[in-house]
Amino acid sequence: MSFKNKVVLVTGASSGIGAAIASKFAEEGASVIIVGRNETKLKEVEAKCQRNGAKVLMLIADVTKDNDVVKMMRVAITWSGHWGIDILINNAGIAETADIWDENAMEVYERVIATNLRSVVFLTHLAVPYLTKNKGNIINISSIGSFAPLSTGYFAYCASKAGLDNFSRAIALDLATKGVRVNTVNPGPVRTDGFQTVGEEELNKFGAMTALGRISEPDEIADLVLFLASDKAKAITGSSFVSDNGTLLKRN
Ligand SMILES: NC(=O)c1ccc[n+]([C@@H]2O[C@H](COP(=O)([O-])OP(=O)(O)OC[C@H]3O[C@@H](n4cnc5c(N)ncnc54)[C@H](OP(=O)(O)O)[C@@H]3O)[C@@H](O)[C@H]2O)c1
């Protein structure tokens, strides 16, 4: 799968699934724009992508800040030689928890929606002219939490991801008229930095929740993303792809 001469923008590329996606696109010849707030971790991903000979633009930005997003797009477009971007991967996300009766429930909700949903809408709005010009595509990294709540305390996260899925389907219809595809990838538990902080015991608990008795590595999600971004998936738009080791199966 070659992405030579393609420009790919990945948000949340400093860690986990986003870092794996950026590295895989770089391996396949794409020029990658990697976005995140943690400069040290972004630099590591930049070096990994460059080892594969890719052109890399590293952008420090907070996707919840409109000024950062506007600036980021301006720099990205100039860097690409005004050709713009071909593939947009909205991956940055947080999974902050609260129960609905908690005092801080609304603060958590605002932060999660700002990161997981609002930022995606705004960045997509800014990127659409370039994606249209290039007949590109968008992949939004959602979660199986959009289909079912899997644990307590995730009301904000589940709402954000359900919103993301339906936003993706709605704009898939709009953008089909412009030759732009939009899909989501909905992982179950994946071993990432975000997840690692919960500890090995909790990770094993999540592994036991899956039908296959395992949790995924970020590369497995990246492989699916690259397929969907490629011409092999030219018939696919408005779809959500679950990669969850059978977690939803086991729940039903
Ligand atoms: N891991 C899982 O089990 C799992 C399962 C289902 C879905 N997902 C989804 O997969 C995506 C990636 O998650 P992950 O597990 O790889 O998490 P992770 O290792 O914690 O990475 C999250 C990424 O998002 C970035 N990010 C968060 N808030 C940001 C902000 N305000 N501005 C810019 N970047 C921001 C972080 O970058 P900085 O810290 O550098 O800002 C980091 O690169 C998320 O959307 C998550 O909901 C993960």
pLDDT digits (tens, 9 = 90+) for 146-194: 999 988 999 999 999 999 999 999 999 999 999 999 999 999 999 998 7
Condensed to tens digits (0 to 9), the pLDDT of residues 185-223 reads 999 999 998 766 667 777 778 888 899 999 999 999 999
Among residues 188, 170, 82, the alpha carbon closest in space to that of 129 is found at: 82
Ligand 1 atom with the smallest distance to the CA of 193 is 19
157 is catalytic: yes
CATH of 7-188+218-251, one of 3.40.50.720, 3.40.50.360, 3.90.550.10, 3.20.20.70: 3.40.50.720
Alpha carbon 172 to its chain's center: 16
Alpha carbon 169 to its chain's center: 16
Is 130 a residue whose pLDDT tops 70? yes
Is 103 a residue whose pLDDT tops 90? yes
- Going from N- to C-terminal start, the domains of the chain cover 7-188+218-251
Q: What's the residue count for the chain? A: 252
Condensed to tens digits (0 to 9), the pLDDT of residues 57-67 reads 999 999 999 99
Average pLDDT on 47-72 reads: 97
Ligand 1 centroid – CA 154 distance (Å): 15
Q: What is the pLDDT of residue 196?
A: 65
Longest dimension (CA), the chain: 51
Ligand 1 atom with the smallest distance to the CA of 38 is 40
Band of residue 252 on the pLDDT scale cut at 50, 70, 90: low
Provide the residue type at 6 as one letter. Answer: K
Average pLDDT, the chain: 95
Average pLDDT on 46-53 reads: 94
Average pLDDT on 6-26 reads: 98
d(CA 106, CA 101): 10
Dump the DSSP string for 138-172.
EEEE--GGGT---STTBHHHHHHHHHHHHHHHHHH
Ligand 1 atom with the smallest distance to the CA of 39 is 40
Tell me which H or E stretch contains 218: helix 218-229
Return the residue whose CA atom lies nearest to atom 1 of ligand 1. Answer: 190
Pocket of ligand 1 (CB under 6 A): 11-18, 36-38, 41, 62-64, 91-95, 115, 141, 143, 187, 189-190, 192-195
Report the percentage of the chain scoring pLDDT > 90.
89
Average pLDDT on 132-152 reads: 96
Listed in sequence order, the residues at least 6 apart from 156 whose beta carbon sits closer than 8 Å to its beta carbon are 96, 97, 98, 105, 108, 109, 111, 112, 113
Average pLDDT on 225-243 reads: 98
Exposure b/e, 92-120, CB count within 10 A at least 16 = b: bbbbbebeeeeeeeeebbebbbbbbbbbb
Q: Indicate the burial class of 141 (C-beta count within 10 angstroms; 0-12, 13-18, 19 or more).
A: buried
